[in-house]
Amino acid sequence: MANMLEILMHLKNIKNLDPRHSTLVENAYYLCKPPERSARVSKVRPPLHQYIRKLLFTDLDKSSIEQVFRQLRKLPWSECEPYLLKCFLKVHKGKYGQIHLIASLTAGLSRYHDEFAVAVVDEVLEEIRLGLEVNEYGMQRRRIAHMRFLGELYNYEHVDSSVVLDTLYLIDLFSFLVMGLKRRRP
């Protein structure tokens, strides 16, 4: 079979096939004999981190928010606070409709761990600014999710209106600068 596949590829290279037929032959060849590549290495996370990810990205919905909140409060905060902050900032990895639930969890946890809630707001503002400065198309979903997260934090009275207005001014300023630079170019 390997000899037949090699003959097929050799004939494809010798003959002038139109691009459509050439693509069909290549697809058939690589379907029968895929290129060798190394296996994907998955991250090995500690069980506590796996549990946090399961709570936030799998179990969290409107009906289970109280249970998730109770489970997060039971965690050993001295160990898992940095990882919780990291997971809360990955709102772009979860469902867009869950962003308000993450904001609700942040507001609820702020009663027990005020420094955590302040760190979440600070990091969200930093992510928004970073997204504006980098301005890559691949980060668009991330930027929109963080802006919605900031709005939901405002809805849960966790962020003052002056912070939201300053952020909107920053967005406007960056868009003005980008548009001004595009107009100047010949």
Q: Is the pTM of this model over 0.85?
A: no
Q: What's the whole-number mean pLDDT along residues 142-162?
A: 94
- Give the right CATH number for 47-184 from 1.25.40.180, 1.20.910.10, 2.40.10.340, 1.20.120.1200: 1.25.40.180
Model confidence pLDDT, tens digit, residues 64-114: 999 999 999 999 999 999 999 999 999 998 889 999 999 999 999 999 999
For residue 186, pLDDT beyond 60: no
Long-range interactions of 45-48: CB distance < 8 A, separation 24+? 48/75, 48/76, 48/79, 48/80, 48/83
Which of 177, 178, 117 lies closest to 149 in space, CA to CA?
A: 117
Q: What is the pLDDT of residues 47-60, one digit of tens each?
A: 999 999 999 999 99
Q: How many CB atoms lie within 10 A of CB 164?
A: 15
Q: Is the pLDDT of residue 156 over 90?
A: yes
Each as own residue / partner, the long-range contacts of residues 33-36 (CB below 8 Å, 24 or more positions apart, any chain) are: 33/2, 33/5
Domain spans of the chain, in order of start: 2-32, 47-184
Are the C-beta atoms of residues 102 and 88 closer than 8 Å to each other? Answer: yes
